[in-house]
């Protein structure tokens, strides 16, 4: 990471503004997709976009939502009894059989690697109690994440509902959320998986349909999709050095190369700037807070070379009460640090208080306590 050196003038509310005029970020890249976005995972900054907020059909990248809900349900080791309805799901399939019992975990692998529509229905019925119940959970989660231009009507993405859509940007938000879950990370990045087959003498073996996992060395995961009406859709993730990127394309005739082009442009144009480091912060403030403030997390933000000198920081602190007690407020958030890029807030993190530790008693203090204790016992006896 590249450390940003800062000259800071401190007051109760401390600000540093570097008066430089920003240069326009040239992150342009040509893609075949009708809608596309490239997002940095940690900050959520959009590094490239093309019609990223237009609502479109999304096909099987819907299954990212299905997968993360299954993982978060806490039922991954439960056995799922496959219904007749699940086995009748149209399109791509892992060929589940009515009545067979299979772990939810195996179904999620079949969902993400082979895009099984039968697994999507089986997962939805088990986790949501019914397809309608699961769809409710999908839309509830979408609202929580901030997917403002999305609506789900099924767990697989088939074109059987007009009211099933999202945007490139919203799908990047969903993927950013999902990638914070280590189980999801592992499943989405798995190239090959074996699952038991209870009705046969051989195990099921699934290879991931995401060709980027072998085609582009920095790829860490993702999900493919296709229907006649949605055309080709693709979500992928990639990591190079300390930068984690998310790419989404909707209705793309050349999606593999679209994603590679976006990644290459992003890795070339941006670096992760470490703007704030976790640990103690030394700012001039009232004597109660002075030398007692710290940050729990490092703030890093993707920036171009031209932007590296455009960061500024504000520290906003609460006013301590007159009865402030050092030890009572240990670990308490007492304000926030805001990071600005060219005058706009791009990130913020709480500021915490750490009081002085209790002074350790010397040997004479300990002996004194013992002596007073003994005297107290005699007097009471």
Report, as residue numbers or ranges, the catalytic residues: 60, 63, 115
Beta strands 333-341; 311-317: pairing state? antiparallel
Q: Give the phi and the psi of residue 287 in degrees, each rounded to 5.
A: -65, -20
Q: What is the DSSP letter of 273?
A: E
The answer to whether the beta carbons of residues 224 and 212 sit under 8 Å apart is no
**Residue 122 and residue 85: Cα distance in Å, rounded?**
8
Phi-psi region of 54 (alpha: psi -120 to 50; beta: other; left: phi over 0): beta
Provide the residue count of the chain.
Answer: 381
Greatest CA span in the chain, whole angstroms?
92
Strand stretches in the chain, DSSP E: 2-3, 13-16, 35-40, 46-50, 79-81, 101-103, 192-195, 204-207, 219-227, 231-240, 243-250, 271-276, 279-281, 293-295, 299-303, 311-317, 333-341, 344-353
- At what angle are helices 63-72 and 131-145 packed, to 10 degrees? 90
């Amino acid at each position: 990471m590249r450390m940003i050196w800062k000259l800071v003038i401190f007051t109760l509310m401390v600000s540093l503004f570097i008066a430089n005029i920003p240069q326009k970020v040239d992150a342009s890249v040509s893609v075949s997709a009708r809608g596309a976005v490239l997002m940095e995972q940690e900050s959520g900054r959009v590094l490239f976009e093309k019609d990223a907020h237009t609502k479109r059909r999304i096909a099987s990248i819907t299954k990212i939502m299905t997968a993360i809900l299954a993982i978060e349900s806490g039922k991954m080791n439960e056995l799922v009894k496959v219904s007749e309805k699940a086995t009748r799901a149209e399109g791509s399939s892992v060929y589940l059989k009515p009545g067979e019992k299979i772990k939810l975990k195996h179904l999620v692998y079949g969902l993400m690697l082979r895009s099984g529509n039968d697994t999507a229905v089986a997962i939805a019925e088990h986790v949501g109690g019914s397809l309608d119940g699961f769809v409710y959970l999908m839309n509830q989660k979408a609202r929580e994440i901030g997917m403002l231009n999305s609506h789900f009507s099924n767990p697989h993405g088939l074109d059987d509902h007009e009211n099933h859509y999202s945007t490139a940007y919203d799908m990047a938000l969903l993927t950013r959320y999902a990638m914070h879950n280590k189980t999801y990370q592992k499943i989405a990045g798995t190239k090959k998986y074996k699952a038991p087959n209870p009705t046969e003498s051989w195990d099921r073996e699934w290879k991931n349909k995401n060709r980027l996992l072998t085609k582009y060395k920095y790829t860490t995961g993702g999900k493919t999709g296709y229907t006649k009406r949605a055309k080709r859709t693709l979500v992928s993730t990639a990591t190079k050095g300390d930068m984690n990127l998310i790419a989404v394309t909707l209705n793309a005739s050349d999606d593999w190369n679209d994603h590679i082009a976006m990644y290459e442009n992003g890795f070339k144009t941006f670096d992760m700037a470490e703007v704030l480091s976790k640990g103690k912060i030394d700012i001039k403030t009232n004597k109660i807070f002075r030398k007692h403030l710290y940050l729990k997390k490092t703030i890093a933000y993707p920036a171009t070379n031209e932007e590296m000198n455009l960061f500024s920081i504000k520290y906003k602190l609460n006013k301590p009460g007159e009865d402030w007690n050092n030890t009572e407020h240990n670990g308490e958030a007492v304000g926030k640090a805001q990071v600005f890029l060219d005058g706009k807030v791009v990130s913020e993190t709480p500021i915490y208080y750490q009081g002085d530790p209790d002074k350790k008693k010397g040997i004479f203090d300990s002996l004194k306590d013992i002596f007073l204790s003994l005297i107290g016992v005699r007097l009471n006896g």
